Amino acid sequence: MKKLGIILSGLMVVFYSCNSSEDIGPDLTDDLLEITTHAENDLNISIYAPEKLFVGYNEITVEIKDTDGHPVSGEISVVPMMDMTTMSHSCPLEADQNTFSAGIYNFNAVFVMPSGEMGSWSIDFTINGMEISVPVEVIAPERSRLVSFISTMDEETKYFVTLIGPKDPAVGKNDLEIAVFETQSMMLWPAVTTLEFEVEPWMVSMDHGSPNNVAPGHTEEGHYKGTVNFTMTGDWQIRLTMTENGEICGTPYFDLYFQ
Ligand SMILES: [Cu+2]
């Protein structure tokens, strides 16, 4: 009788933990936008992001449930792909985890072109051995958050510099974050970790800069962080000088506007 009690209480724990794991579910806060949902191979996949997917650095959350609505766990891999009919290519990707739990998986993708007549994007998953391709739309933002160019140093390396922050620029000191990748093949877009930068915010309309800026330095995996100081509202350019071993490889800039 005592044994039965232990078994029963054990079962209670199992039932209880089943229920509570459903309750844990996705922590999808209100500030995430549902980009798309896709059903295939008995899985329902929803893709969320802070805003519409755009050319630049996108932080993406994937919700994976079975057909009964229960969160799924297991193994996962992800590859963004653009099909351009005569060829296809991927893009820079930050996806370190190859497992996911409680139905949630996060990764970052730097889309390098907008969807359109040139081609269409999909996010191709392998989830617990099943290949699932989710079509997505990528827009070109009003002000570019991705600059690509060929290195002026070796005239060969193709760089992609993406502006991650400031996300909400304001008068005063703002955290600056950029990330840099290069193209090695249609599928290989590694982070570039060996660069140095100078930064100069410039107000084009009034032809002046600002004091007290901090050049972005490498932190990890091709991310560079610094500070930009805006002395007034309006149109600004974040002008960067990118060097490697003391030689200039490019001068990308980003336009910003805030009131
Ligand atoms: Cu393309």
Interatomic CA distance for residues 43 and 68, integer angstroms:
9
Pick from 89, 112, 136: which residue ends a domain?
136
Q: Exposure string (b/e) for 50-64, b if CB count within 10 Å is 16 or more?
A: eeebbbbbbebbbbb
Asked whether residue 86 falls in the same domain as residue 167, the answer is no
Assigned token pair, 240: 């960067």
Kindly report, residue by residue over 215-249, the tens digit of the pLDDT.
999 999 999 999 999 999 999 999 999 999 999 99
For residue 90, pLDDT over 70 is answered with: yes
Q: Which residue type sits at 187?
A: M
The answer to whether the peptide bond before residue 92 is cis (omega within 30 degrees of 0) is no
Determine the distance separating the centroid of ligand 1 and the alpha carbon of 88, expressed in angstroms.
Answer: 7
Q: Are residues 130 and 48 in the same domain?
A: yes
Residue 184 binned pLDDT confidence (cut-offs 50, 70, 90) = very high
- 89 C-alpha vs ligand 1 centroid, how far in Å? 6
For residue 118, pLDDT over 70 is answered with yes
18: in domain: no
Q: pLDDT value at position 222?
A: 98
Could you tell me how far CA 113 lies from the centroid of its own chain?
14
Q: Please report the pLDDT score of residue 166 as a whole number.
A: 97
In a domain, 7, yes or no: no
Asked if residue 110 has pLDDT above 80, the reply is yes
Retrieve residue 179's tokens: 């990330």
Res 6 pLDDT > 70: no
pLDDT at residue 38 is higher than 80: yes
**Residue 254 shares a structural domain with residue 189:** yes
Report the share of the chain in percent with pLDDT over 70: 88
| CB-CB contact of 215 with 227 (8 Å) | no
Question: For residue 158, is it within any domain?
Answer: yes
Q: Is there a domain that residue 208 lies in?
A: yes
Question: Mean pLDDT for the chain?
Answer: 91
Per the domain annotation, does 159 fall within a domain? yes
Instruction: Give the CA radius of gyration of the chain.
Output: 22
pLDDT value for 28? 67
- Give residue 10 CA to ligand 1 midpoint distance, Å: 55
- Asked if 103 and 179 sit in the same domain, the reply is no
* Å from CA of 111 to ligand 1 middle: 9
Give residue 199's identity as a one-letter amino acid code. Answer: V
Is 79 part of any domain? Answer: yes
| Total count of domains within the chain | 2
42 and 78 in a single domain? The answer is yes
Q: 109 and 162 share a domain?
A: no
- Same domain flag for 130 and 151: no
Claim to verify: residue 106 and residue 169 sit in the same structural domain: no
Centre of ligand 1 from the C-alpha of residue 106, in Å: 23
Give the separation between CA 2 and CA 6, rounded to whole angstroms: 6
pTM for the predicted model, two decimal places = 0.88
189 Cα–ligand 1 center, Å = 13
Are residue 130 and residue 175 in the same domain, yes or no?
no
Residue 150 lies in a domain: yes
pLDDT of residue 31: 85
Find the CATH number of the domain harbouring 158.
Answer: 2.60.40.10
Q: How far is the CA of 82 from the centre of ligand 1 (A)?
A: 5
- Are 43 and 93 in a shared domain? yes
* % the chain with pLDDT above 90: 88
Token pair of 39, please? 């059903």
Residue 85: Cβ within 10 Å count: 8
Residue range 43-67: average pLDDT? Answer: 97
Q: Are residues 115 and 176 in the same domain?
A: no
Residue 185's CB: how many other CB atoms inside 10 A?
A: 8
Query: Are 216 and 116 found together in one domain?
Result: no
Domain boundary among 111, 136, 161: 136
Contacting residues for 226 by C-beta, under 8 A, at least 6 apart? 176, 197, 199, 213, 214, 215, 216, 217
Provide the residue range defining the domain that includes 96: 29-136
- Could you tell me if residue 185 is inside a domain? yes
pLDDT at 21 over 80: no
Final residue before a domain boundary, out of 110, 136, 162: 136
Q: Give me the mean pLDDT over the 254-259 stretch.
A: 96
